Amino acid sequence: MGTRHRRHSTELKLRLVRMYLNGEASLHGLAREHEISRNLIRLWVEKFEKGELSEELEQGAKIPEYEAKIAALERKIGQLTMEVDLLKKLRQERPRISDTPSVVSGPSASPLQKDVES
């Protein structure tokens, strides 16, 4: 049976890494207390030292900003869709050019013979 993978917040990762690096807790103690592998905490320490954990935190802070932009774009798409539908409807309802009299050519010719004779 496979092992279930848990996701840990960046805040928790940073807190545990800082506790370990500041000497507030041992690797073994943190692993036991939080039921996390010592190797996982070591990996987080390596990421922290490379600056990768702080990047995760920055990316997490941008999520609400991105969600707001997505919502605004979805509203705009809805508005534009309604405008396109309205324009299509108006195009279907407007009279054809050949049905309207023209200043240059006058009214269209009548297909009835009696109109031609009068």
3-state DSSP call for residue 102? Answer: strand
DSSP 16-81: HHHHHHTTSS-HHHHHHHHT--HHHHHHHHHHHHHTHHHHHHHHHHHHHHHHHHHHHHHHHHHHHH
The lowest-confidence range among 35-39, 55-59, 74-78, 112-116 is 112-116
Phi, psi at 59, each rounded to 5°: -65, -40
Number of Cβ within a 10 Å radius of residue 34:
15
- pTM for the structure as a whole: 0.45
- Helix (H), strand (E) at residue 50: helix 38-50
Does the pLDDT at position 65 exceed 60? Answer: yes
Greater pLDDT, 100 or 10: 10
Amino acid of residue 65: E
